[in-house]
Amino acid sequence: MKFSLGAIQYYWPKEVVQSFYQDVAESTVDIVYLGETVCSKRTELSLKDYMDIAHQLREAGKQVCLSTMTLLEAPALVRDMARYVDNGEFMIEANEIGAIQLAHEKSLPFVVGSPINCYNQHTLNLFLKQGMQRWVMPVELSREWLENLLEHDSIQTVRDQFGVEVFAFGHMPLAWSARCFTARAEDRHKDDCQLCCINYPKGREVKSQDGVQIFLLNGIQTQSGHRYNLVNDLPSMQGLVDVVRLSPEPEGTLKWLQAFQDNLDGGQPQPLADTDTNGYWRSLAGMVKAL
Amino acid sequence: MELLCPAGSMPALKAAIDNGADAVYVGLKDDTNARHFAGLNLGDSGLKDAVSYAHRHQRKIHVAINTFAHPDGWERWKNAVDLAVECGVDVLIIADLSLLAYVHDQYPHMEVHLSVQASATNPAAIDYYRQFGVSRVVLPRVLSMAQVRSLARMCDMPLEVFAFGSLCIMAEGRCYLSSYMTGESPNTAGACSPAAYVRWEEKDDGVLESRLNDVVIDRFAEDENAGYPTLCKGRFHVGDDLYHVLEEPTSLNTLELLPELHKEGIASLKIEGRQRSPAYVSSITKVWRQAIDAVMENPNDFLVKDEWNRVLGSLSEGSQTTLGAYHRKWK
């Protein structure tokens, strides 16, 4: 089983990002995804900056993928996405079907990101024929769904040709909108957002009127209010999952990476926080924490 | 410019057709469509009757098979396609790639439209779906009018846009908020904020509280209109503020954009609301028929009638309407 770090979902200052990846280079992670996947207005790091980090990580022995934007509104953004696809060195993680189109046109391999709607064996096979190397399962799916999907003969015969990756730690991306909710929380429109999301390195908490932390606002993205944490579910991934993904949080991400790696066979389980959840993997509502 | 109206039942379908819809879209009675609600949609014989009624009146019927096939439920989605084709419907509205491929392979002459649930917002995404013979794309409700315009001018693909009805504020087909709270989402179960998880409670102080899977979505004072607890339209806290964090209860209304949509050659205007009553469908269809006729007749001199807005406003969520993402300031 390998471990990966997803693209940073929040808007962090450039030096924070660079320092984070210096630590990542020294960590035991196998695969690192880089890039801005949430909002095209976030320009602390350019594609060149990401490429510089990608080279450093590759030299440190990591496999690097470039992650593309999830929601493209203006047609001009397709050009930006094409620059990621055409980087010439690193495989892309397609978070939008248009990125698959661009990669497929050029016969480039790709990772199918979790926001792409791949829910069954037929769709998975189609992507495989078009160049998919790895599939990140949609966050809302369960172990049972994954098992049902993989057990089909049409998948079993090609199972050695692609990897299965599961989002297993961090605040889950649940929705993308035209509207910027972080700007709205400051009573501003998106056009006048003043990039205020940089002030919320772990998103802004949304609480229900009875005090449940239900969501996090991260610009145009809405995240789970609770942190997904499958550290104690790793044994149930054996034989199904090839790559376990952790999503970078402002603090403790690499400590958790270690905790995950230490608990691969269930020998060193971790206490879950009150605000941790594992519901989706257990075929329950995403916000539920099953013991 | 086609007027495409919703029908969750035979009476609603008749209401749409009798009041001037050019085409009607329906779903089947299972989780193969994104309005999988109890008591809604058509069974096998219902679909045959619906096709026969629509064709007798020279109108078209579209069938939405726009959820994503489950790994152990492929037959159900395949059967839905087979049934719709066998009944002689005019168009299939599909989101799942596996179903698009199946239809393209089995029924290459069938007209297929890409569902809004496929979330295609840009030229590269639209290009991807051409391999399946898709002949129209339904745009997600995340684009501004300027973005719709540039897409219409860049692509030769006919486009369909939402003109009126309940407003999804997230990119459709990529929203898991409902399964996060209840375990059921539009993609997996054809439902958002499903009724089985809704609970209402009247408090001693007269406050009416709505909950979804036990989480408070809103509290209404006695003088407030209490709306259905769709989770993205609840009132929550951010910091010290209590407000509609994602969106107010409101409906999309694009009447004033009609001349622009007409000018850009938009193929079809879709009215949301398969879950609505025949009376609702009838009133909405009447207004939009008049409005579309007016803009087609005189595109340069089109004025929205107060009466139209009054009718639409009275049938809207929270009795208010918005231009949604079409208007940049909304974002």
List CB contacts (< 8 A) between B151 and chain A: 75
Spatial separation of the C-alpha atoms in residues B200 and B294, rounded to whole Å: 44
Q: Which amino acid is at B172?
A: E
- SS3 of residue A23 by DSSP: helix
Name the maximum alpha-carbon separation found in chain A.
54
Q: What is the DSSP string of A105-169?
A: HTT--EEE-TTS---SHHHHHHHHHHTEEEEE--TT--HHHHHHHHTSHHHHTTGGGSEEEEEEE
How confident is the model at residue A117, as a pLDDT? Answer: 97
As a whole-number percent, the residues of chain B with pLDDT over 90 amount to 87
Quote the pTM value. 0.97
Residues whose CB is less than 8 angstroms from the CB of residue B61 and which lie 6 or more positions away in sequence, other chains included: B23, B24, B25, B26, B50, B51, B54, B55, B89, B90, B91
Q: What is the pLDDT of residue B227?
A: 87
Closest A-chain CA to B197: A285
Residues 4-63 of A with CB under 8 A from B: none
Q: Is the separation of the CB atoms in B262 and B299 below 8 Å?
A: yes
Question: From the candidates A37, A135, A184, which should be mutated to test the interface with B, based on the most B CB atoms within 10 A?
Answer: A184
B71:A75 CB<8 A = no
Helix (H) or strand (E) holding A276: strand A276-277
Q: Would you say the C-alpha torsion B231, B232, B235, B236 has a positive or negative sign?
A: positive
For residue B295, the distance in angstroms to the closest alpha carbon of chain A comes to 27
- List C-alpha distances in Å: B329 to B147, B207, B269: 14, 33, 22
- pLDDT tens digits for range A221-264: 999 999 999 999 999 999 999 999 999 999 999 999 999 999 99
For residues A253 and A270, the answer to whether their CB atoms sit within 8 Å is no
Residue in B238, B253, B269, B230 with CA at minimum distance from that of residue B311: B253
Nearest-Cα distance to chain A for B286, in Å, is 30
Q: How far is CA B226 from CA A10, B168, B204, B272, B317, in A?
A: 35, 19, 17, 21, 10
For B33-72, the pLDDT digits (tens) are: 988 888 899 999 999 999 999 999 999 999 999 999 999 9
B180 to A177: CB separation less than 8 angstroms, yes or no: no
Which of B180, B192, B240 has the most A C-beta neighbours within 10 Å, making it the best mutation to test the interface with A? Answer: B180
Q: Other CB atoms closer than 10 Å to residue A194's CB: what's the count?
A: 10
**What share of residues in chain A are helix, strand, coil (percent, to 5)?**
35, 20, 45
Predicted local distance difference test score (pLDDT) of residue B163 = 95
Q: What is the pLDDT along chain B (331 residues), one digit of tens a residue?
A: 999 999 999 999 999 999 999 999 999 999 999 888 888 999 999 999 999 999 999 999 999 999 999 999 999 999 999 999 999 999 999 999 999 999 999 999 999 999 999 999 999 999 999 999 999 999 998 888 999 999 999 999 999 999 999 888 999 999 999 999 999 999 999 999 999 999 999 999 999 999 999 999 999 999 888 889 999 999 999 999 999 999 998 899 999 999 999 999 999 999 999 999 999 999 999 999 999 999 999 999 999 999 999 999 999 887 788 888 888 888 8
CA distance B15 to B12: 5
Q: Which residues of chain A have pLDDT under 70?
A: none
Report residue A91: phi and psi, to 5°.
-70, 150
At residue A34, the 3 state secondary structure works out as strand
In 10 A of CB A144, how many CB atoms? 13
Query: What residues 208-247 of chain A have any CB closer than 8 A to a CB of chain B?
Result: 208-210, 212, 214-215, 217, 222, 224
Per DSSP bridges, beta strands B2-6 and A243-246 are: unpaired
